[in-house]
Amino acid sequence: MKRRYAEIAGWGMYVPPRVVPNDTFVTMGLDTSDEWISSRTGIERRRVVEADEATSDMATKAAVQAMAVAGLHSGDIDLIVVATCTPDHVMPATASIVQDRLGMLNAGAMDLNAACSGFVYALATSAAQVESGRARNVLVIGADELSIYLNWQDRSTCVLFGDGAGAVVLRQANEPGIMGSTMGSDGSGAGLLTIKGASRVRASSNGTPSGSANGHEKAANGAAAADENYLTMNGPQIFRWATQIMPRAAEQVMASSGLKTEDISLFIPHQANERIMKATAKRLGLPTEKVFSNVREYGNTSAASIPIALCEALSTGRVDVGDYVVLSSFGAGLSWAALALRWSVPIPSHVAPWQPIQRQVASRMAAVRSVLRRGERSVRTRIDETLGKGEG
Ligand code: COA
């Protein structure tokens, strides 16, 4: 049987309009400076969501662009994977919310949490779905808004992160596309980078049927739980580990894909810190012009960092058909992932003027379909209730 491959056919990104430059932290009263932040991290500004903007809102906007570039209709998508560690809700999955907004009625939908490595994990997992023939087209999104989990009084963490989303559409191809990938995790380092507020915290603060806490304990634990909702990090340890794991993961995936360093046209590392990226490039023997960086503009956008970087690399002419591109990421978990690809589709120099209109029409139609489905569900519920009452 003919072998199937996966290739990226569409891409899109979204960052919130609100720009927060480094000086803002000084204005807020933090003991920091633009000079400290930019010299230690390379970050000059980041984007931050408004109060009413959720992860699914950003994810949907990036996805709409990716679908337009791919030239696919919502019914063509078989699976939606949203890589995020800041979902809209514990449940339902953010991917289901995106699925509803885009009217992707034939698509399965799931979230994937591998923190900042999430997008490369999602891309590798989705490529396997396409290569095996289980899915024809997969929408893969990386979206995070870590700003809502930052302690804005903690200068060692709040200056590092930003919000955003990036998306790609994977489709079947006759040639690779995605060439190889590697994923890894070392949970012994889980405590180095955390946002703890989920079942471990809630079980102890709310009590459970088998061991409920009394009111006083609940109040005390509730205060602790509020602290547990913040992102905490051991910066220096993460830094040391990242400079080892990012190049190692990249080397692994190059070896398994049959690529040498000199074959690589562009290396897109996770955008966390300019110094980590430089150290990684040095270890790989890559000249700086082959390493993509936009951390200056957006800070660390977690699962969105690599797809946003990919979109900007494409829109600035850094990738051409036939180029070999390597992605490498690291993050909480600890987790890491790398992926090698051969760029295979032409890059449109501009979006056709009718495309925004087509996008608007498509999303309005999806919204109308969604309202109709909700209406139908609510009528059914009322009928069930009425019949139930009648029986009683
Ligand atoms: N402004 C000014 N000073 C700051 C500061 C800030 N925003 N943040 C920390 N400092 C201070 C520290 O308190 C410390 O002060 P002290 O020496 O008086 O104790 C000093 O700067 C040095 O701190 P240190 O943490 O050793 O600095 P560093 O050179 O390691 O840089 C990071 C700190 C966070 C930039 C760096 O460790 C890093 O990037 N780590 C990786 C983080 C990361 O990528 N996380 C995401 C993973 S997905």
pLDDT at 205: 64
pLDDT at 212: 46
Question: Is the residue at 129 inside a domain?
Answer: yes
Summarised one tens digit per residue, pLDDT across range 71-92 is 999 999 999 999 999 999 999 9
CATH number, domain with residue 107: 3.40.47.10
Are residues 386 and 258 both part of a single domain?
Answer: no
Are residues 288 and 366 both part of a single domain?
Answer: no
pLDDT at 223: 46
Catalytic residue among 116, 158, 294, 311: 116
Please count the structural domains in the chain: 2
Please confirm, yes or no, whether 73 is among the known catalytic residues: no
Closest to 60 (Cα-Cα) out of 188, 133, 177, 165: 165
Contact 21 CB / ligand 1 (< 6 Å): no
Are residues 358 and 338 both part of a single domain?
Answer: no
Q: What is the CA radius of gyration of the chain?
A: 22
Are residues 323 and 389 both part of a single domain?
Answer: no
Summarised one tens digit per residue, pLDDT across range 118-155 is 999 999 999 999 999 999 999 999 999 999 999 999 99
Question: Is the residue at 348 inside a domain?
Answer: no
- Over the chain, what is the mean pLDDT? 91
- What is the band of 285 on the pLDDT scale with cuts at 50, 70, 90? very high
Q: Which residue has the tokens 């690589």?
A: 264
Are residues 178 and 279 both part of a single domain?
Answer: yes
Which domain, by its residues, includes 390? 354-392
Query: Is-above-0.85 flag for pTM?
Result: yes
Are residues 35 and 113 both part of a single domain?
Answer: yes
Please confirm, yes or no, whether 116 is among the known catalytic residues: yes
* Average pLDDT rounded to a whole number, residues 197-216: 60
Summarised one tens digit per residue, pLDDT across range 155-189 is 999 999 999 999 999 999 999 999 999 999 999 99
pLDDT at 370: 80
Please confirm, yes or no, whether 221 is among the known catalytic residues: no
Are residues 380 and 296 both part of a single domain?
Answer: no
Which regions of the chain does DSSP assign to beta strands (E)? 5-14, 19-21, 45-47, 79-83, 108-112, 137-145, 163-173, 178-185, 193-195, 231-233, 264-269, 324-331, 335-342
Does the pLDDT of residue 367 top 90, yes or no?
Answer: no
Question: Is the residue at 50 inside a domain?
Answer: yes
Contact 64 CB / ligand 1 (< 6 Å): no
Q: How many CB atoms lie within 10 A of CB 71?
A: 13
Are residues 156 and 247 both part of a single domain?
Answer: yes
Q: Are 163 and 48 in contact (CB under 8 A)?
A: yes
Are residues 143 and 258 both part of a single domain?
Answer: yes
Q: How far apart are CA 303 and CA 292, in angstroms?
A: 16
Question: Is the residue at 202 inside a domain?
Answer: no
**What angle do helix axes 34-41 and 274-284 make, rounded to 10 degrees?**
20
Are residues 110 and 163 both part of a single domain?
Answer: yes
